[in-house]
Structure 1
Amino acid sequence: MKRKVFWLLLCFAAFTVNTFAVNAEDNKDKGNTEKTEVAKKSRLTLGGYGEAVMTRNFYSDNWKRYTDASKYKDDNGHGRFDLPHVVLFIGYDFGKGWSMGSEIEFEHGGTESAVEIEEEETGEYESEIERGGEVALEQFWLQKSFSRAFNLRLGHIIVPVGMTNGHHMPTEFFGVYRPEGENTILPCTWHETGISLWGKVKRWRYEVMFLPGLDADRFSNKNWIQGGAGSPYEFKIANSYAGAVRIDNYSIKGLRIGVSGYVGNSASNSLKAVNFKNLNGTVLIGSVDFDYNAHNWIARGSFVYGSLSNSGQISEANRSLKGYGISPGTNIGSDAISLGIEAGYDLFSQIAKLKGKEQRLYLFGRYDYYDPMYKMGTNTKGQQLLDEEQWGRQRIAAGLNYYPIKDIVIKGEYSYRLFKSQYNNEPSISLGIAYSGFFTK
């Protein structure tokens, strides 16, 4: 009897010791798993950016201020509040190299309908409904990543031409609004449905994109080819195709230098293509840009030059379409140009207490020169089209950018837009607050 009890107690003790050992190992594994899960990046990515601004313009807002400038020289100024861009980003990693990304953009806090004064036409008030306007699906793509050097992206993608299209979040430029030159002559943010191949090799990044061509009947005097990226229809006309390419280099610490380009025909991408018969409307764009962030300085700059073949004949065709509500019906430049540069110094870098809190205060200056009608083509009679000189402008600005934390910036700037002597210059002051970042890690 005693022997049986002894063996039962021994078995129980062995079972108890084994149970404690297993539980301890399980708890250890559980702890490691929890640590791994904390360290592991979430497959779901949520983020976005947004801007709220206030501006006081110290010049007339009458649409005739360029055609009869002296009459409006002493007009009262005008102010406005705006939400230029509010964007929500959703991304997901499906695994095995497959991922997706999407962005929904709300421009000016609207719902695709806006009343605008068409100052480049006759000053009429127009209620415009534009696909890709006030509310837009700015990105929606699926990507297959084979390696760091080879990624294939398909869907609705940002076109990598110019500096601002690739770096358009409000924490990536000093001004309250996006850089004025590129934002005038190029679509911004330029997004199209297409196919993109991109990758990184050592200190280089490349991207090549196939996409539909621009729509020539929406080009204009004020904005050159900007309007041709959108579509007023439920689809994008793609009778002609285009290609875009970008290469960036990161060899020097703190410095990125990039070149980009675009080529594609535009004349046949219209529902009224017969008006553009035998025309190519080839759009060529070349750009070089850089940004530098080191030694408490940030400097950025870009140069864009573009040309449009058959610009005179396209201008005539567009005037014939104006009555249909399809085209602005204005003359279009054969060449357009944009130059912009900005630099800012972090004043808080000299104050140890604030630098330790990672707060930053940049004092910056910026200069822009741009002209959507830099050169003019000839019409079917061989006559050169009229250069509307009010669209060629210079702009200087200075201000402050305060970053209480990395992802939030409070901006203030004074700007002065300069014209040729027959026009009135346009000073203004703007204040803004913005954020950009990811809500998941």
Structure 2
Amino acid sequence: MKKVFLLSAVFSSLAFAQSTEERIRQMEEQIRMLQQEIQRLKEEQKKVEETKQETEVLKEELRKLRLEIAIPQLELKTYSGLGPAASKAMFNPRGVSIGGYGEIHFLHNPDKKPKNTVDAKRLILYFGYAFNEKLKFNSEIEWEHAFVEGGEESGETAVEFAFIDYNFNEKLGLRGGLILIPVGIINEFHEPPTFPSVDRPYLERNIIPTTWRELGFGAYGKLGNLEYRAYITNGLKPNKEAGEKIEKGELLKGFRQNGFKAVSDQMAFSGRLDYNLPYNLKIGASGFFGGVQDDKGKKLGTLNLISPHLWWQYDGWDVRFVGAYGATSGADKISQEISTNPECQLGDTTQCTPFPKKFYGFYTQVAYDVLRLLGIPDQQLYVFGIYENYNTHASVPEGFEKPSGHKVQVFNVGLSYKPHPLIALKADYVRLSPKDAKKQNIYRLALGWMF
């Protein structure tokens, strides 16, 4: 009996031992599985956090992309016949684009009264819309002299250009609407940081009208190294201020129609060729050939203007040459049309405001960024000199008298500092030397920007 009891106790003890070991093993297995589950949850949590961060990054990139599509940043590159800010809409793949430029001028002229003036000369806004990657709208709206009000001292609001553009490929694009006449350099590239002087060169204001635009259509493109633009537009028509502007030395400014109910019985052709050489040297020529008409469309004469040019921007240099030569038929009829003196209308041609049979001129500019010598890449300080020589009345119709001051020399030196490529602080000195008229010494400052 004792043996039976003893054996029973031994077996019970072994069974208990086995049960305890099994429980321990099971618990260890459960702990291991729990640890694995915790590790899995941690990894999932990490993935969730990473996914959340990636989602936030994607959201921010999408926001920036939407903003960039709506209002793209300005890159310093140009599209056929447009400055950097005006080109913004043309590089936008779709949607709305907004850009612009402006300039404020201070002028000290001791030979005039008042001697000092400060002027919010221009504020420009560009509005564009890309219907798709090929079909686009672009426009420029200008406010001059800060406000618009009735009277001669008023500012001005004007549409500088507004056109629809369709680009088939690099070789051919079509453009129609209110377009810039592609003559000279400044008429198309007129944003203040793109030229060093405080104001636009005199030749590209008085011989070639500044911001010259007309209604029409045409083609543009690039064939290898050759760029071209060719437009058909309405012809010229003198407005009521044409004679007064000529007396001030502004030869063609009063003949632009600017898209305002433009009389189009006489048409015009304008075009431009640029050949691109190594080291960013561009040479070419542009021209305008068209009829001059009165308010009823009657032909008064024709005007032919040819302008050769050279433009070299490389390694800190900005060198330019622009020439102009014009010939007019019917200059006597145009002179009588623009003259307000009653004696002129009665046949006394010496009392008429003369329009020239021939006119010509040129200017040359040399500018260099001296900060390149100091190894400062993000800012520019251009030291420049400009010489201009032009004659608004080289030849006039027989019986008419040349106006005083028609032959002009201009000496212009100064500085243009760019703390940012889109902002320019300028200071220059101008020696204006018209023949048979009072010479002027002009000191100018300007703040200009584009975006």
> With structure 1 as the length reference, what TM-score do the two structures score?
0.76
Q: Does 1:228 align with 2:255?
A: yes
CA distance in 1, matches of 2:141, 2:427: 27
> SS of the residue aligned with 1:188?
coil
> SS of the residue aligned with 1:171?
helix
CA distance in 1, matches of 2:217, 2:149: 27
The CA RMSD measured in Å over matched residues stands at 3.1
CA distance in 1, matches of 2:182, 2:275: 15
Aligned 8 A contact 2:107 2:444 in 1? yes
Matched with 2:122 is 85
Structure 1 258/44 Cα, relative in aligned 2: closer, same or farther at 3 Å? farther
Q: Does 1:415 align with 2:433?
A: no
> SS of the residue aligned with 2:357?
strand
> SS of the residue aligned with 1:398?
strand
Query: Within 5 Å, which residues of 2 pair with 1:192-271?
Result: 192-216=214-238, 218=242, 220-221=246-247, 222-230=249-257, 235-267=261-293, 269-271=294-296
> With structure 2 as the length reference, what TM-score do the two structures score?
0.74
> SS of the residue aligned with 1:189?
coil
Matched with 2:152 is 115
Counterpart selection for 1:51 from 103, 108, 116: 103
Matched with 2:444 is 430
Q: Deviations over 1:42-77 (max 9, x none)?
A: 23221111000100002135xxxxxxxxxxxxxxx6
Matched with 1:100 is 137
Matched with 1:346 is 369
Q: Deviations over 1:156-210 (max 9, x none)?
A: 1111112211211111221111111120123210111111211122222111111
Structure 1 321/257 Cα, relative in aligned 2: closer, same or farther at 3 Å? same
Query: Aligned residues, how many?
Result: 371
Query: Within 5 Å, which residues of 2 pair with 1:295-374?
Result: 295-319=315-339, 330-352=353-375, 355-356=376-377, 358-374=378-394
Q: Deviations over 1:240-271 (max 9, x none)?
A: 1111111112222222223111111113x424
Matched with 1:147 is 169
CA distance in 2, matches of 1:95, 1:169: 27
RCO comparison, higher one (Cα < 8 Å, 6+): 1
Matched with 2:86 is none
The structure in which a higher percent of residues are helix is: 2
> SS of the residue aligned with 2:199?
coil
Structure 2 gap segments, 5+ residues each:
1-40, 70-94, 344-350
Q: Deviations over 1:296-315 (max 9, x none)?
A: 22111200111111112221
**Match of 2:225, as an amino acid?**
R
Query: Within 5 Å, which residues of 2 pair with 1:182-197?
Result: 182-197=204-219
What is the CA distance between 1:104 and its match in structure 2? 0.5
CA distance in 1, matches of 2:373, 2:133: 47
CA distance in 2, matches of 1:363, 1:38: 38
What is the CA distance between 1:149 and its match in structure 2? 1.5
Q: Deviations over 1:366-416 (max 9, x none)?
A: 1111222121122xxxx3x10113132111011110000110000000111
Structure 1 360/139 Cα, relative in aligned 2: closer, same or farther at 3 Å? same
Counterpart selection for 2:421 from 397, 406, 412: 406
CA distance in 2, matches of 1:189, 1:256: 21
Aligned 8 A contact 1:216 1:281 in 2? no
Matched with 1:70 is none
Structure 1 334/210 Cα, relative in aligned 2: closer, same or farther at 3 Å? same
> SS of the residue aligned with 2:131?
strand
> SS of the residue aligned with 2:177?
strand
> SS of the residue aligned with 1:178?
coil
**Match of 1:402, as an amino acid?**
Y
Matched with 1:287 is 307
Max Rg structure: 2
Provide the identity percentage.
25
**Match of 1:265, as an amino acid?**
G
Structure 1 gap segments, 5+ residues each:
1-15, 62-76, 117-127
Matched with 1:64 is none
CA distance in 2, matches of 1:251, 1:110: 44
Aligned 8 A contact 2:300 2:334 in 1? no
Structure 1 410/229 Cα, relative in aligned 2: closer, same or farther at 3 Å? same
CA distance in 2, matches of 1:243, 1:59: 41
What is the CA distance between 1:136 and its match in structure 2? 0.2
